[in-house]
Amino acid sequence: MNLFNQVRWGIIGVGNVTENKSGPAFYKTEYSRLVAVMRRNEEKAADYAQRHQVPKYYSNATELINDPDVDAVYIATPPDSHARYAMEAMKAGKPVYVEKPMAKNYAECLEMLNVSENTGMPIWVAYYRRALPAFLKVKELIDSGTIGKPCMVQVKLHKPIQEYDPATGQMHWHVIPEISGGGYFFDLASHQFDYLDFLFGQVTETSGIASNYGNLYPAEDAVAGIWKHESGVTGSGSWYFGSNNPAEKDEMIITGENGEIVIPCFTHEKVSVKTAKGTTKMEFVNPEHISQNLVQQVVNELRGKGKCVSTGISAARTNWVLEQMVKNFYIK
């Protein structure tokens, strides 16, 4: 891989996630420029390019990938096309940064890693919590022994039903397994398992039970699971996407020999640390474009100035965990 003085990006799939969470990071990050965008709807691609002051737009991904002005490609489409576009880009000599989950299934992740190894093109995945202040602070607290040796973690994520996309009135692609790989569990729990991988190492054992209580869409809407990390930390979790608002839950409880840390994954509320000295609550401020810290790491690595903490190798492990958790639902 050639190192870059300045990285010129192309984005495949400029949908909602790229409007504020990620897209602006590619032209606001130091030594990074956004030079081309692609969306199958050419009118929407042109509109995005105009609003974000991007010089080129395409309605064909291959044309963007082969644009000589594009050094690296960010793939922000639904998971069913991640592998196809990522492998095409890497074979064209372009490093890739892929939205999470890395692919529709673990087998596709392995294909992507194989192409990365054969072409020498790196692949990173947008698990940006690995670079956010609150999540880094929790890692620091654990590594420094604030709660003693970590023993176990409990995860709860209970959210209201969201079967329709309010923008289109159609069934949301997140609940169509042929597109997303599963339901909202794949979309949201992937962030949690990736972060726990960051804290405690890869998951070596796991099992789960998945169900569909609401029968509103083809994917699972409830999952209960257990797992064990290579470090010995054990975990249990429940995910339910049919709760009423008063029953919403978003927390990861990390229990150590000498204390406990509670961190929300999605609401970005205060982190609570409980030890013999008492309970401390800490508040953190995220970057305006929440993925920008991780994008900066990717750009730094492309310039030979550091390493990004979210790789295709670590992201593939998360896909494996997700599949193991819900396999009873899809393999009858």
**What average pLDDT does range 123-130 have in this prediction?**
98
Q: How confident is the model at residue 169 (pLDDT cuts 50, 70, 90)?
A: confident
**What average pLDDT does range 162-185 have in this prediction?**
92
User: What's the CA gap between 209 and 267, in Å, rounded?
Assistant: 26
206 pLDDT above the threshold of 80: yes
Residue 148 has a CB neighbour count (10 Å cut-off) of 13
Output the pLDDT for position 165.
Answer: 83
Please indicate whether the domains covering 7-126 and 133-285 agree at the CATH topology level. no
218 pLDDT above the threshold of 80: yes
Q: How confident is the model at residue 77 (pLDDT cuts 50, 70, 90)?
A: very high
For helices 190-200 and 133-143, angle between their N-to-C axes, nearest 10 degrees: 30
**What average pLDDT does range 68-95 have in this prediction?**
98
Output the pLDDT for position 91.
Answer: 98
Instruction: Name which of 272, 278, 189 is nearest 236 in CA terms.
Output: 189
CA angle 188, 190, 195 (to 5 degrees): 110
Output the pLDDT for position 122.
Answer: 98
Residue 143 has a CB neighbour count (10 Å cut-off) of 10
Output the pLDDT for position 292.
Answer: 98
187 pLDDT above the threshold of 70: yes
245 pLDDT above the threshold of 80: no
Task: Report the residue count for the chain.
Answer: 332
128 pLDDT above the threshold of 80: yes
Task: Encode pLDDT of 31-42 as tens digits.
Answer: 999 999 999 999
Q: How far is CA 307 from CA 6, 122, 131, 325, in A?
A: 16, 11, 12, 30
Residue 51 has a CB neighbour count (10 Å cut-off) of 11
**What average pLDDT does range 228-245 have in this prediction?**
94
* Chain centroid to CA 231: 22
**What average pLDDT does range 270-284 have in this prediction?**
97
Question: Which CATH superfamily includes the segment(s) 133-285?
Answer: Dihydrodipicolinate Reductase; domain 2 (3.30.360.10)
Residue 312's contacts (CB-CB under 8 Å, 6 or more residues apart) are 98, 102, 109, 112, 113, 116, 122, 123, 124, 125
CA angle 289, 292, 294 (to 5 degrees): 140
The reported pTM is 0.96
**What mean pLDDT value characterizes the chain?**
96
User: What's the CA gap between 180 and 326, in Å, rounded?
Assistant: 13
2 pLDDT above the threshold of 90: no
Lowest mean per-residue pLDDT among 123-127, 241-245, 272-276, 315-319 = 241-245
- Integer-rounded Cα radius of gyration of the chain: 20
Q: How far is CA 160 from CA 75, 134, 179, 246, in A?
A: 28, 25, 21, 9
- Percent of the chain past pLDDT 70, that is, above it, reads 100
* Chain centroid to CA 173: 16
Domain boundaries, the chain: 7-126, 133-285
Q: How confident is the model at residue 168 (pLDDT cuts 50, 70, 90)?
A: confident
Beta-bridge mates of residue 11: 37, 74
Instruction: Name which of 70, 131, 53 is nearest 291 in CA terms.
Output: 131
Q: Which CATH code, of 2.30.30.790, 1.10.340.30, 3.50.50.60, 3.40.50.720, is assigned to 7-126?
A: 3.40.50.720
User: What's the CA gap between 144 and 284, in Å, rounded?
Assistant: 19
* Chain centroid to CA 65: 22
Task: Encode pLDDT of 3-31 as tens digits.
Answer: 899 999 999 999 999 999 999 999 999 99
Most confident of 115-119, 163-167, 213-217: 115-119
User: What's the CA gap between 76 and 137, in Å, rounded?
Assistant: 28
Amino acid making up residue 105: N
332 pLDDT above the threshold of 90: no
User: What's the CA gap between 179 and 191, in Å, rounded?
Assistant: 18
